[in-house]
Amino acid sequence: MKDTKDLYDYGFFARHETFCPRYGWLKKGFDGVEGYNGVQKEPKIFDADDAIEKLGVGKNMVRSIRFWCLAFKVIEHSEAQGKFRIGGELKGSQFGKALLSTDNGWDPYLEDIGSLWLLHWQLFVPPIVAPAWSIAMNIGDIGIFTIKELGHVINEHRGRIDSLKRYSDSSIEKDASCLTRMYAPPTKSNSDEIECPFTCIELLLPSERKQTYRFNLENKSSLPDDVLMASCFSYAHFFHPHSKTISLNKLAYGQNSPGVVFKLSESEIGNRIEKVVNKIGDADFIESYGSRQLQFEQTPIDLYWATLKDYYE
């Protein structure tokens, strides 16, 4: 397995300025950088003095849009850098262009709930810009929790990661609050989150006790099989490079694996792979020495793109 001790070297806490990603923000940020309908590219739009006017949002929202566009990897820095930073010259990523381009993007306005699941997955592939999301999902089933309790658990785990020790406890709690509001159904107390599309995937559910939540461990009927399959290939590419097989166990329980990220059981992942793998060339789901494994002849990143193209087109 790829060494993940440096997985969070490029991450930040609380750079979302307390805002969850809102409807239209990723498209707005991508278009601002990449240009659209005759509007020229502007690689430094987020650093521009008139960014507020060009993007049509407040100053803090400009910073938040940039953070989320980088976290979901619809934009990226134009040149390779040493230590990751938020500012600088940006461009549309290959993923961003495929999904959000006005002329030929798969789903520029995110009308397909599968696109929201796909974007959720993007938070967990390197470089990880929002480490609190990754840490929270990898903790395991923590039962019923408040925002403060989630923040405490994230804080405990990030304290073991050298690159994240510089952040204050208050920054961690802001991320715990943002994560919860991003995925939990809107209520009277968090009515602003009706503007966040990710509440639709129902990854977090309210518990009976007021202001408590739990992760949804059910089967996620709104998650398309093809998007799950693509995430399996993506996981193999990033976390198990050079392998021609990956076990179902790793797909279910590995760090930042589809099972962890989507909160799915091993049996559910296996059942879904069995349903779709036969239509994918150069991939098979086999049993070897009592363990089920996803086997592929092409590189997993090529299969990732092929699976998504088949889903959208």
Q: Is 296 part of a structural domain of the chain? A: yes
Contact of 147 with 211, CB cutoff 8 Å: yes
Which residue, 191, 216, 241, sits at the end of a domain? 216
Same domain (yes/no): 261, 245: yes
Q: Which residue, of 189, 216, 243, is where some domain finishes?
A: 216
Structure pTM?
A: 0.95
Q: Are residues 175 and 197 in the same domain?
A: yes
User: Based on the domain organization, do 99 and 135 belong to the same domain?
Assistant: no
Q: Is residue 51 part of a domain?
A: yes
Q: Does the pLDDT at position 37 exceed 80?
A: no
CATH assignment of the domain containing 233: 1.10.10.10
pLDDT band, residue 4 (cuts 50/70/90):
low
- The pLDDT of residue 229 is 98
The mean pLDDT value of the chain amounts to 93
The reply to whether 255 and 291 lie within a common domain is: yes
List the domain range (segments joined by +) for residue 300: 225-312
Q: Report yes or no: 34 and 96 within 8 Å, Cβ to Cβ.
A: yes
Per-residue pLDDT at 84: 65
* Statement to judge: residues 306 and 281 lie in one domain: yes
Residues 91 and 163 in one domain: no
Q: 18 in a domain, yes or no?
A: no
Residues 163 and 190 in one domain: yes
Tell me: do 285 and 307 sit in the same domain.
yes
Same-domain status, 300 and 233: yes
Residue 178 backbone phi and psi in degrees, to 5: -65, -45
Domain boundary among the residues 172, 199, 216 is at 216
CATH for 29? 1.10.10
Q: What is the pLDDT of residue 81?
A: 56
Q: Is residue 17, in this structure, part of any structural domain at all?
A: no
Residue 10 lies in a domain: no
200 assigned to some structural domain = yes
pLDDT in tens, 185-218: 987 665 555 689 999 999 999 998 999 999 999 9
15 falls within a domain: no
Number of domains in the chain: 3
| Domain annotation covers residue 2 | no
Residue 199 and residue 264 in one domain: no
Decide the pairing of beta strands 245-247 and 283-288: unpaired
The residue-averaged pLDDT of 130-153 equals 94
